[in-house]
Amino acid sequence: MVPDAATIVQRRHLLRTVIRLLALGLLGWFLIDLGRAAAQAGFSWGARWHIRDDTFALLPPLVMAGLLLVFEKRLTAWLAPLPRAGCPKCG
């Protein structure tokens, strides 16, 4: 059964909501880890941050959230495609 346009729009809206919530969760994970790293470093307003070996371990959730938000439209179009109405042989 080929879904109609309204069903596809509803699916895409749901997928966009899920992708945005996932990105928000990843950003929250990043901020929690950043706060934990600041607390372990004894962060105060006058102190300087030094790049430690584990500082770059904070970046993957931030990068993943950014990629999800940048490619949100492409992901939803790929996960909920429009049906093709034409003949696959002649177009």
- From 10, 32, 6, select the one nearest 76 (Cα to Cα): 10
Query: Of 58, 55, 51, 69, whose CA–CA distance to 30 is shortest?
Result: 58
Tokens read off for 82? 């429009």
Q: What percent of the chain has pLDDT over 90?
A: 38
pLDDT value, residue 68: 93
Q: Which residues of the chain have pLDDT under 70?
A: 1, 41-55, 85-91
pLDDT (tens digit per residue) in 72-89: 999 999 998 877 765 656
Q: Which two tokens stand for residue 75?
A: 């992901």
Place of tokens 């509803």: 10
Euclidean distance between CA atoms 2 and 69, whole angstroms: 29
The Cα–Cα gap between 41 and 58 comes to 14
pLDDT at 81: 86
Distance (Å, whole) CA 70 – CA 13: 16
pTM score, whole prediction: 0.74
